[in-house]
Structure 1
């Protein structure tokens, strides 16, 4: 790839920092007798290249199938310096405009080959007609070594009559519930449709084994699992559609969107695009949930702020230091927004399971909803009527009662006068030997061991003059005996009960 091959580096269709290469042209291909033709291209991307590299492909009429394979070099780099990592996807003749109709699939770095045809496509890609015009293979050089990145792309067109994609089998919006009750779910899961190793059927089986009531499909940057989700839902398991939006400045879950909704990810925090993205998620009936905001990996940490968030994923997979930081930041947000009528941001937890031995349902969010139905569940999460547990073995209830007999539960406000005494009650089962921790806007207010005999009850008294809110945590004892001053791993945690206000 020489200087003449670098056609332009600019903002294209609202997508910032795009480098467009010279096109791969099949204009001379003769598909009248069927068969196939292949074109190959190679190039070198320098360190610091644009986020997105577009390779135009001029597709003639009469194409039945398109296949792409790619590879790139991985030179040695100094310790601590990111090496080469390059994602891939494709947009069809309708263009590459941000959020537009041209998206046909994305596999990130999970696959080196993909194919699209009229009747079927590689998971992560959308089947359908191969329209004539300029398609764009999109390379996403996630990180580039100081030596640069050498790539090779091969495109094969198969000629013949077009096929018709199968009708989508979207999941129903309701399962058999228990009326107004607590429902357990995992809202962050991956399958072979992105970088997961489980099939959708295996994910559904794992969810049932974990005794979950609902799950959300959240493949990276693609919605191609949605048309198959209905095959794995049932009266006992509500399956919701969604997506994990993996921008260069953090990941976000589109939680419970209408099936068939695709959300673009090609922007950074500085591009001022995220507000429009959240509007798209909300129009599709979903929630905006920043995922693993303190993830230590390149591009994972959340940099967009929380003004647009409906909830925050503060616990992602087995408990770790990044979860501890996420809970601390979320708690600080609660402290800034304690007033009556003010919007606050609830916490959720999900497994982010990709493959064995990742445990589906570790953790899980337990939601108080009017029924096991999509809109009811999302309303419960948005209102903060939810808590997080490491498994279905853990049961918990948390409430506060005022001096005038008023009562509030998780995510609610207990209206009290400043001098009214408030009785806080926490009941826990399934966590013998753990510690109960009550936290207010001032910090830890109580830390007490739970007895081996369960269920166990913890009682505590306060007032709104001393606590703007109170929330509960159930923790294991610190592995170092408390020498570090850090609490042990989380077993369960609640959203807050706010105190005060009439």
Structure 2
């Protein structure tokens, strides 16, 4: 075993790469190969990242020919820090000899902080990493100092090369883009889920079983910064469950779900708002057939708060997992976008959705879930329903809604649609709810909450009607709220709908 030391490399000795927030350290080199092209070689390198380190630090590794497998393990120190001060957290991934250019042509895997080691070879790789040949050239281990303690972040990397004949490559098989649907109908789905290919603890098969138990018709894979789960979903799909493929693009300025991209699509994450690059990767998602969905926009974890704006959003994830105050803020923020669209007379508005963001037990898959009116149970039809806002969000399969408006020569409009009538035309708003015991119904417009009913009976079934005009309400949407424990704040959501717009 050979050892190297990065500790003596000061910030002035680091080489700045093409990205402003990335630096490259000195190379780790190996001999030209084991004498008999079998056996292993190992190198260990150590260093310390100071506070204020760039987002990504690259460690070049010169890989000789004849390598069958590369294995990397790492450790880092976690010293005590004062209360309220972030401690050390170090992510890891790797790029192959094709380079680290933004866009990810050389991307071979990312595990964030979920694993302490990984391997890559032709026939297999650690979940989160792309199997394939270990070709000769300069590979780069990428370290992501997520947070750095005031004392600095001492780390140790161990790289092991195993020589020999490569295994046989495995041809990926992906899940179908169609399941057995019911024609035009309401379909239930959860589009933000994590498997053991990132920081989840469940296999794709386990997630699919939980999705079926939760009454879901479709799901979307969304592992952090990697697409390697895509071929592992084929065996979990079936006539009763559509599995779409995607990624949670996890930047340092917020997360975005790439929803329903083409199989094998990778979307890079190595940029911040100040780099002015998000538009490029939003286009990448759409070019791959996906939707751009900012996730948990007001989450309080480091780097989770969405800072790229909603100009590129197709849908906004307003409700993420168990309902919390940051979801309430996201709901209010989204409602403000509806007000702006209504007041400007724009026909363009951004629909909302809700997802579980489930990682491990006891996180419930399908809590919440988005219920979409789609022409069939296909990737394209589900995406069209989401993009059009023909959907509502419910806390579980037990809750269902029927929401619509009518007025003016028996005209009718449903969720995500517009009732095109004159400003003074009387309009009737009606909601039917099931599975929401003791919940209140609220009708929300561009002026705020204009109707709140008494609680539904313990059966959870009931209706509410309200009369208005387009002059009084540019749109109306519905909420089901649980009883509030105390204070002026409303109770947690049991369900909410996308709006119905009123007027021409």
**Is the shorter-chain TM-score for this pair beyond 0.5, marking a shared fold?**
yes
Which residue number corresponds to residue 10 of structure 1?
16
Q: Does 1:292 align with 2:296?
A: yes
Which residue number corresponds to residue 351 of structure 1?
356
Instruction: Specify the SS of the correspondent of 1:315.
Output: strand
Q: What 5-or-longer segments of structure 2 have no aligned partner?
A: 1-6
Q: State the Cα distance separating 1:16 from its structure 2 match.
A: 3.0
Q: For the residues of structure 2 that align with 1:224 and 1:348, how far apart are their CA atoms?
A: 25
Query: TM (normalized to structure 1)?
Result: 0.97
Which residue number corresponds to residue 467 of structure 1?
473
Q: State the Cα distance separating 1:169 from its structure 2 match.
A: 1.5
Q: State the Cα distance separating 1:457 from its structure 2 match.
A: 1.1
1:432 to 424, 430, 437: 437
Q: For the residues of structure 2 that align with 1:16 and 1:442, how far apart are their CA atoms?
A: 44
Q: For the residues of structure 2 that align with 1:189 and 1:164, how far apart are their CA atoms?
A: 31
Q: Does 1:235 align with 2:239?
A: yes
Q: For the residues of structure 2 that align with 1:357 and 1:454, how far apart are their CA atoms?
A: 25
1:83 to 82, 87, 90: 87
Q: Residue deviations 1:40-75, cap 9 Å, x none? A: 100011100111000000000000000000010011
1:98 to 97, 102, 105: 102
Q: What 5-or-longer segments of structure 1 have no aligned partner?
A: none
Q: State the Cα distance separating 1:3 from its structure 2 match.
A: 3.2
Q: Residue deviations 1:287-345, cap 9 Å, x none? A: 00000111111000000000000000010001000100000000000000025552110
Q: For the residues of structure 1 that align with 2:261 and 2:387, how far apart are their CA atoms?
A: 14
Q: Does 1:402 align with 2:407?
A: yes
Q: Does 1:478 align with 2:484?
A: yes
Q: Does 1:311 align with 2:307?
A: no
Which residue number corresponds to residue 463 of structure 2?
457
Structure 1 window deviating more from structure 2 (330-339 vs 176-185): it is: 330-339
Whether contact under 8 Å (1:55, 1:138) holds in the other structure is yes
Whether contact under 8 Å (2:37, 2:66) holds in the other structure is no
Whether contact under 8 Å (2:33, 2:66) holds in the other structure is no
What value does the CA root-mean-square deviation take over the aligned residues? 1.2
Whether contact under 8 Å (2:439, 2:460) holds in the other structure is no
1:271 to 275, 287, 291: 275
Q: For the residues of structure 1 that align with 2:162 and 2:325, how far apart are their CA atoms?
A: 50
Q: Residue deviations 1:366-393, cap 9 Å, x none? A: 0000000000000100000010000011
Q: State the Cα distance separating 1:162 from its structure 2 match.
A: 1.6
Give the paired residue count: 496
2:122 to 111, 118, 121: 118
Which residue number corresponds to residue 27 of structure 2?
23
Which residue number corresponds to residue 385 of structure 1?
390
Q: For the residues of structure 2 that align with 1:476 and 1:227, how far apart are their CA atoms?
A: 40
Q: Residue deviations 1:332-363, cap 9 Å, x none? A: 00000025552110000000000000000000
Q: State the Cα distance separating 1:432 from its structure 2 match.
A: 1.6
Whether contact under 8 Å (1:106, 1:125) holds in the other structure is yes
Q: Residue deviations 1:258-285, cap 9 Å, x none? A: 1100000001011001000000000000
Q: For the residues of structure 1 that align with 2:84 and 2:271, how far apart are their CA atoms?
A: 26
Q: Residue deviations 1:170-210, cap 9 Å, x none? A: 00000000000000000000011000011111101000110
